[in-house]
Amino acid sequence: MSGARVLEAQVGIVGAGPGGMAAALHLARAGITVVLLDEGFRAGGQIYRQLPEGYDAGHRISEPPSHRAGNHLLDAVARERIRIVHGATVWNARPGQIYYEQNNESWLLACEQIVLAPGAYDRCVPFPGWTLPGVITAGAAQVMVRGFAVAPGQRALVCGTGPLLLPTVTALASAGVKVVAALEAAPRSAMWAALRGVIGNGARMREALFYARSLLRRGIRLQWGASVFAADGDGRVQSALIGKLDQQGAPRPETARRIEVDVICAGFGLVPAIELGLLLSCAARYDAPRGGHCLVVDEQQRTSVDSVYAVGEIVGIGGAEVAMAEGRVAGAAIAARLTSVSFDPRLALHARSERRAADAMLRAFQLRPGLFSICKPDTVVCRCEDVTSSQAAAAGELYGRTTRGIKMGCRAGMGPCQARICGLNLHDIFCDGVEPDLPVAQVPVKPVRTATMIDVPRR
Amino acid sequence: MTAIAAATADVVVVGGGIIGCAIVWQLAQRLPRTARIVLIDRGPIAGATSGSCMGHLMVTPDDAQEYAFSHASVQLWRELQDQQGGFDYNPTGALYLADDPADIALFANLQAQFVACGDRAEILDQQQLRELEPGLAHDLPGALFYPGDGVVLPMTACGAMLRAAQTAGPRVDVLPYTPLTSVLREGDRITGVVTPTGPISSPNIVLACGVWTPEVGALAGLPKLPIVPRAGNLAITAHHASPIRTQLLEISYLRFAHGAATVDPTLIGADQGGHAVNMQPQSLGGCLIGSTRQFRGMNRELNHELLHRALLRAARYAPGLLDLPIVRTWVGLRPFSLDKHPLIGPWPLLRGLWIAAGHEGLGISLAPITGQLIAQQMLGLPCSIDHRPYLPARVVA
Amino acid sequence: MSRDLRMDGVLRPPEITFTFAGQPISARQGETIAMALWVAGQKALRNSSKDGAPRGVLCNMGICYECLVRIEGAPVRACMVLATEGLNVEPGGKS
Ligand SMILES: Cc1cc2nc3c(=O)[nH]c(=O)nc-3n(C[C@H](O)[C@H](O)[C@H](O)COP(=O)(O)OP(=O)(O)OC[C@H]3O[C@@H](n4cnc5c(N)ncnc54)[C@H](O)[C@@H]3O)c2cc1C
Ligand code: FES
């Protein structure tokens, strides 16, 4: 077994996306030592994902205007020589201590303050056939294109809901994929609601315009109030059943039609990755429009735990601009604590206005309950444990209609993804009328080797 | 949350852990079709200890009584499997392991105990052990194999018992998220229970509340029952990531788990805790690893130090474990009875009040026989084994 | 595959080779196991524990654990491990 490995910094930041990087930059410029931990191979997080070292795609991959800010941030972080630890799977944390596994080694980052910026992951909604290889999340498709310059397929269906569908469509198109259909589950009225929400936010307006233009140029039409009904194929996706949704968001079978595709990219919004925050005992609350359970923070991004700050998606889905603004706030707040500079309240004001614009957008794209009726009794709802919808329903009936009851009755949510994929669905499909149980924070927040847990470095 | 389907019942069982579920199962097999059984729990079924434990079905040959008790129960588990299934029943037998000479000497003792009870166990040499469990460390001297033990998944077993009960004849209402808030009585007899969704009148209530039985007993006016929590830390590997196929435990487990407590169990903070390896193969190929023991009240925070020691020990026996991913760790609270025997039977001072609690680390193994003893006593039937050592009357001082 | 899914006109590091279920797979340095297998047309990475149905990449960012494969017997996420020269990868699930 390897020896103890300890890194030290004044501030430890989890997540090298826009929020984490913005916080790091602010802190580094104030002369504070920071270390960024990220599970990915390069900085940028999910949104400003970079190609691997040694790749050059020129301008072949479509980049919305907002990515310019991301590139600036990446450059600045590199210039300041901020230490980023890549391939770091954080599995445990306490105030002042972050434990991670890297290259099969067990590490400890000892720090005075912690900033959590672990981002979010795609919300999935189960539909018949969604376990077939070839059904991927919208995020997965973006990773293929932006992270590896790989086309996810030749003919794609893009479906789901929310502002992330557009970048997915444009990324696919720029990779040469034929987007056979692009389906937004929300009704067309959501578009107007979203646009009204972002009026006055120049950056968001420019972004919307960029996507509208790039879809138009490629002749792709976004269909509102439509969704995937099923995926089919022999061992992998070969076709999809798609159609329109009614007022409640339920499928209208008479509108169903089959399209030939080899990949289905589905993204029904994003879910905040709050697990580490829960482990640190940070207070959280359920906020459906913001994606699920979110950490509660004050105006300086401080959680209910004094030395732990949270920025970006884990406070509520909001996108890169919100994350960056909040990252700066957390950086400034910590800098004010550790040095003699004072906190500039304008930063907090700016973050709040970005957050407001994001919230307006999110409210327009809430999942409608009918959508869950796409899931049939024999559709798998928990992929890790292979639990079908009817098994989960029976478990809830006997054990209690909560995600905990369902889990006890049929193991749904007990697999390695730790209910990240199925948790909210179990609630939304089976637990009418009760607030979802707060996910249980358990060590490790992501699976790690036994050796890593045995070999914990100590100080 | 659930509306009360039966405002009157013949029996109300309080507590939907493995003990409460086993009582419902055994009662339903014996009560007439016209009878009504209601099970209430303040949380989900199997949401407490029975959903955060291991599932070793263990036959304990300490003496003839203990053997009869545990052996009868493990037989009943087999019946539930034949009748109902759905709880990952796996009769793997148990391998007792040791790596130090003093403990190795215990193999022969334990074997002799099984033989004295009319059963058998086999001492395996190094070669035989390797054939049975190729994933174990090659330097182990051998092991004792007892074929009668098995493994179940306790949380789904609770449901299997309830489903078996629901098809047995009497009406069985299962009401999760329905806490007992007070007990109705007239003089020295029980008349019912009160829950937030309303009262349920019943001449019999059974308290099967595990570590909360003293607290719930107080609602019925009982003196503090001698049951305290004893925490255990557990870890589980991912599916298809188990170095073993058989239920394994260190033979020192017997001394450690079943021996006398070396500290005052009611004094929180006095117990540093200890561990003896217990490793259990899971149906989808994962491996459940325990087991630590510590008296520290209702605290369910992970004791990293103790778990660390248990994992280290587990890896000593099964080195392949080091490279396998751990998915989760957690803490369960064993209901430890101060005189080390569970309380099973009527409360002598209050007619219609029954207690079934305090099974410490053997509640899964002993649940069916516990249910059977309660059902037999309640209906005035002869008991299938000597029930007297477990009568709650002994704690009425 | 009628067309290489790696985008044209992109400068990439040199090719390397690893194996999946004993078959040689070519990858570019910097690609994950999942990415290289996807491009090679190998979308099924493991079989479901219960019904044996094929499963593959879902999230591609280390969240869902659907892409579990085995390296030296231990399950790892194919989307989070880089392909390296000579690596032997086996499908996940039951071994
Ligand atoms: C780490 C660990 C490993 C173990 N391994 C094994 C093993 O391998 N083999 C084995 O045989 N045993 C094992 N055990 C022991 C076994 O788990 C317990 O003995 C058994 O689960 C106890 O069951 P129970 O029904 O008494 O308690 P519980 O399962 O705790 O059930 C009590 C129920 O009462 C309910 N309740 C409490 N208050 C109220 C109220 N006011 N109103 C309504 N309901 C209420 C609770 O919500 C709870 O559901 C282990 C235990 C632990 C902790
Ligand atoms: S595809 Fe989800 S973890 Fe790899």
> Which residue from B166, B167, B173, B162 is spatially nearest to B5, judged by alpha carbons?
B173
Q: A55-108 pLDDT, tens per residue? A: 999 888 888 888 888 899 999 999 999 999 999 999 999 999 999 999 999 999
Q: B80-97 pLDDT, tens per residue? A: 999 999 999 999 999 999
Q: B308 and A454: CB-CB below 8 Å? A: yes
Q: Are B51 and A414 in contact (CB under 8 A)?
A: no
Give the pLDDT of residue B261: 65
CA–centroid distance, residue A148 to ligand 2 (Å): 15
- Whether residue C76 lies within 8 A of chain A, CB to CB, comes out as no
In this structure, is residue C14 part of a structural domain? Answer: yes
**CB atoms inside a 10 Å sphere around CB A239:** 18
Q: Name the neighbours of B, counting chains with at least 3 Cβ pairs within 8 A.
A: A, C
Give the pLDDT of residue C1: 45
Q: Residue A186 phi/psi, 5° resolution?
A: -70, 150
In this structure, is residue B272 part of a structural domain? Answer: yes
> Which residue from B275, B318, B342 is spatially nearest to B17, judged by alpha carbons?
B342
pLDDT-based confidence at residue A201 (cuts at 50, 70, 90):
confident
Q: Residue C62 phi/psi, 5° resolution?
A: 85, 15
The correct answer on CATH 1.10.10 for the domain covering A375-430 is yes
Helix, coil or strand: residue B289: strand
Reply yes or no on whether the pLDDT at A162 is more than 90: yes
Residue B42 sits in the same domain as residue B122: no
Q: List, in sequence order, the alpha helices (H) in chain B.
A: 18-30, 64-83, 101-104, 106-116, 126-132, 154-166, 213-219, 252-258, 304-317, 363-378
In this structure, is residue B219 part of a structural domain? Answer: yes
Instruction: Starting from the CA of residue A140, give the closest ligand.
Output: 2
Reply yes or no on whether the pLDDT at A304 is more than 60: yes
The top-level CATH class assigned to A124-265 is alpha beta
Give the pLDDT of residue A360: 87
Residue ranges per structural domain of chain A: 6-121+271-362, 124-265, 375-430
- Residue B112: which residues within 8 A CB-CB, separation 6 or more? none
CA–centroid distance, residue B11 to ligand 1 (Å): 20
In this structure, is residue C55 part of a structural domain? Answer: yes
Instruction: Starting from the CA of residue A416, give the closest ligand.
Output: 2
pLDDT by residue, tens only, chain B of 397 residues:
344 555 999 999 999 999 999 999 999 999 999 999 999 999 999 999 999 999 999 999 999 999 999 999 999 999 999 999 999 999 999 999 999 888 999 999 999 999 999 999 999 999 999 999 999 999 999 999 999 999 999 999 999 999 999 999 999 999 999 999 999 999 999 999 999 999 999 999 999 999 999 999 999 999 999 999 999 999 999 988 889 999 999 999 887 776 666 788 888 888 888 999 999 999 888 999 998 999 999 999 999 999 999 999 999 999 999 999 999 999 999 999 999 999 999 999 999 999 999 999 999 999 999 999 999 999 999 999 999 999 999 999 7
Q: Which residues pair with B96 in a beta bridge?
A: B144, B249
Summarize the confidence of residues C39-61 as an average pLDDT: 94
Count of all residues that appear for chain B in the document: 397
Tally of domains in chain C? 1
Between strands B205-207 and B11-14, the pairing is parallel
Distance CA C32, CA A49 (A): 14
How far A179 CA lies from chain C's nearest CA (Å)? 15
> Which residue from B100, B110, B90 is spatially nearest to B244, judged by alpha carbons?
B90
Instruction: Starting from the CA of residue C64, give the closest ligand.
Output: 2
Q: Taking CA B21 as the corner, what is the angle to CA B17 and CA B27, rounded to the nearest 5 degrees?
A: 150
Q: Is the peptide bond before B291 cis (omega within 30 degrees of 0)?
A: yes
Residue B177 sits in the same domain as residue B286: no
- Whether residue A60 lies within 8 A of chain C, CB to CB, comes out as yes
CA A226 centroid distance within chain: 23
User: Which single residue is written with the structure tokens 């008296």?
Assistant: B295
- Residue A83: which residues within 8 A CB-CB, separation 6 or more? A9, A34, A35, A36
DSSP H or E run through B325: strand B325-337
Output the DSSP codes for A232-243: E-SSS--EEEEE
* The token pair that represents A112 in the structure block: 């005075």
Mutation to test the C interface, candidates A100, A124, A136, most C Cβ within 10 Å: A136
- Residue C92: which residues within 8 A CB-CB, separation 6 or more? B240, C45, C46, C67, C68, C69, C70, C75, C78
The set of long-range contacts for C43-47, using a CB threshold of 8 Å and a minimum separation of 24, is C43/A133, C43/A134, C43/A236, C44/A133, C44/A235, C44/A236, C44/C91, C45/A133, C45/C69, C45/C78, C45/C91, C45/C92, C46/C91, C46/C92, C46/C93, C47/C91, C47/C93, C47/C94
Q: Hey, which bits of A324-418 come out as E strands?
A: 380-382, 387-388
Helix, coil or strand: residue B38: strand
Distance CA B367, CA A229 (A): 46
Ligand 1 contact via B342 beta carbon (within 6 Å) = no
Model ipTM? 0.97
Query: Contacts of residue C45 in chain A, CB cutoff 8 Å?
Result: 133
What's the domain range around C29? 4-90
**CB atoms inside a 10 Å sphere around CB A212:** 12
How far B302 CA lies from chain A's nearest CA (Å)? 8
The dihedral formed by the CA atoms of A159, A162, A168 and A170, expressed in degrees to the nearest 10: 110
In this structure, is residue B74 part of a structural domain? Answer: no
Q: A115-136 pLDDT, tens per residue? A: 999 999 999 999 999 999 999 9
How far A89 CA lies from chain B's nearest CA (Å)? 12
Burial class (CB in 10 A: 0-12, 13-18, 19+), A374: buried
Query: Contacts of residue C62 in chain A, CB cutoff 8 Å?
Result: 39, 89, 446
Query: Contacts of residue A87 in chain C, CB cutoff 8 Å?
Result: 80
Give the pLDDT of residue A457: 87
Distance CA A448, CA A442 (A): 12
Residue A252 or A2, more confident: A252
Residue B119 sits in the same domain as residue B158: no
Q: Which of C79, C82, C89 to mutate to test the pocket of ligand 2 (most atoms within 8 A of CB)?
A: C79
Residue B171 sits in the same domain as residue B110: no
Give the pLDDT of residue A1: 43
* The token pair that represents B253 in the structure block: 């487990």
Distance CA B313, CA A258 (A): 57
Tally of domains in chain B? 2
CA A357 centroid distance within chain: 18
Q: Are A96 and A112 in contact (CB under 8 A)?
A: yes
In this structure, is residue B87 part of a structural domain? Answer: no
- Whether residue B285 lies within 8 A of chain C, CB to CB, comes out as yes
Q: A14-32 pLDDT, tens per residue? A: 999 999 999 999 999 999 9
Q: What CATH number is attached to the domain comprising B190?
A: 3.50.50.60
CA–centroid distance, residue C80 to ligand 2 (Å): 8
Q: What would the CATH number be for the domain defined by A6-121+271-362?
A: 3.50.50.60
Buried b (16+ CB within 10 A) or exposed e, B254-293: bebbeeeeeeebeeeeebebbbbbbbbbbbbbbbbbbbbb
Mutation to test the B interface, candidates A442, A454, A458, most B Cβ within 10 Å: A454
How far C21 CA lies from chain A's nearest CA (Å)? 17
How far C47 CA lies from chain B's nearest CA (Å)? 11
Mutation to test the C interface, candidates A39, A42, A148, A411, most C Cβ within 10 Å: A148
Give the pLDDT of residue A3: 56
Summarize the confidence of residues A192-200 as an average pLDDT: 83
* The token pair that represents B4 in the structure block: 């009360």
Q: Are A278 and A84 in contact (CB under 8 A)?
A: no
* The token pair that represents A46 in the structure block: 């999910």
Hey, whose CA ends up nearest to atom 20 of ligand 1?
Answer: B363
CA–centroid distance, residue A437 to ligand 1 (Å): 21
Residue B302 sits in the same domain as residue B262: yes
Q: List, in sequence order, the alpha helices (H) in A143-265.
A: 148, 165-174, 189-198, 202-218
Residue B315 sits in the same domain as residue B238: yes
Q: Are C70 and C92 in contact (CB under 8 A)?
A: yes
Ligand 1 contact via B183 beta carbon (within 6 Å) = no
The mean of the pLDDT values for chain A is 94
Q: Which residues pair with B250 in a beta bridge?
A: B97
Ligand 1 contact via B15 beta carbon (within 6 Å) = yes
Residue B253 sits in the same domain as residue B331: yes
Q: B240 and C74: CB-CB below 8 Å? A: no
A6-121+271-362 against A375-430: fold identical: no
Reply yes or no on whether the pLDDT at A2 is more than 70: no
Residue B162 sits in the same domain as residue B106: no
Helix, coil or strand: residue C13: coil
Reply yes or no on whether the pLDDT at A4 is more than 90: no
Chain C residues with a Cβ under 8 Å from any Cβ in chain B: 49, 65, 68, 72-75, 92-95
Query: Contacts of residue C72 in chain B, CB cutoff 8 Å?
Result: 323
User: Which single residue is written with the structure tokens 């007297």?
Assistant: B388
Instruction: Starting from the CA of residue A89, give the closest ligand.
Output: 2
Give the pLDDT of residue B259: 64
In this structure, is residue B66 part of a structural domain? Answer: no
Q: A131 and C82: CB-CB below 8 Å? A: no
- Residue A159: which residues within 8 A CB-CB, separation 6 or more? A165, A181, A182, A183, A184, A185, A226, A227, A228, A242, A264, A265, A266
Mutation to test the B interface, candidates C49, C51, C69, most B Cβ within 10 Å: C49
Show which of B290, B315, B337 is a domain's final residue. Answer: B337
How far A133 CA lies from chain C's nearest CA (Å)? 5
Residue of A nearest to B314 (CA): A450
What's the domain range around B362? 11-55+154-226+340-395
Show which of B310, B337, B364 is a domain's final residue. Answer: B337
Hey, whose CA ends up nearest to atom 22 of ligand 1?
Answer: B363
List Cα–Cα distances, B369 to A57, B360, B372, C92, in angstroms. 70, 15, 5, 41
> Which residue from A420, A458, A453 is spatially nearest to A101, judged by alpha carbons?
A453
Residue B124 sits in the same domain as residue B163: no
Query: Contacts of residue A456 in chain B, CB cutoff 8 Å?
Result: 304, 308
CA–centroid distance, residue C46 to ligand 2 (Å): 12
C5-44 residues touching A, CB cutoff 8 A = 5-13, 29-32, 35, 38-39, 43-44
The set of long-range contacts for A237-245, using a CB threshold of 8 Å and a minimum separation of 24, is A237/A129, A237/A132, A237/A133, A237/A134, A237/A135, A237/A261, A237/A262, A237/A263, A237/A264, A238/A262, A240/A157, A240/A264, A242/A157, A242/A159, A242/A181, A242/A183, A245/A185, A245/A187, A245/A368, A245/A370, A245/A371
User: Using CB atoms, which residue from A144, A150, A417 is nearest to C63?
Assistant: A417
Count of all residues that appear for chain A in the document: 459
Query: Contacts of residue C65 in chain B, CB cutoff 8 Å?
Result: 238
In this structure, is residue C95 part of a structural domain? Answer: no
Residue of C nearest to B242 (CA): C74
Give the pLDDT of residue A200: 81
Burial class (CB in 10 A: 0-12, 13-18, 19+), B86: middle
Residue B207 sits in the same domain as residue B175: yes
- Whether residue C51 lies within 8 A of chain A, CB to CB, comes out as yes
In this structure, is residue C57 part of a structural domain? Answer: yes
Between strands B189-195 and B182-186, the pairing is antiparallel
CA–centroid distance, residue B335 to ligand 1 (Å): 7
* The token pair that represents B142 in the structure block: 């051998």
Give the pLDDT of residue B288: 97
Q: What CATH number is attached to the domain comprising C86?
A: 3.10.20.440
Q: Which of C46, C60, C69, C76 to mutate to test the pocket of ligand 2 (most atoms within 8 A of CB)?
A: C60
Helix, coil or strand: residue C39: helix
In this structure, is residue C58 part of a structural domain? Answer: yes
How far C28 CA lies from chain B's nearest CA (Å)? 27
Query: Contacts of residue B325 in chain C, CB cutoff 8 Å?
Result: 74-75
Q: Which residues line ligand 2 (CB under 6 A)?
A: C 57-60, 62-67, 77, 79
- Whether residue A155 lies within 8 A of chain C, CB to CB, comes out as no
Show which of B337, B363, B385 is a domain's final residue. Answer: B337
Residue B131 sits in the same domain as residue B208: no
Distance CA A248, CA A300 (A): 39
Question: Which atom of ligand 2 lies closest to the CA of C65?
Answer: 3
- Residue B347: which residues within 8 A CB-CB, separation 6 or more? B220, B222, B353, B354, B355, B392, B396
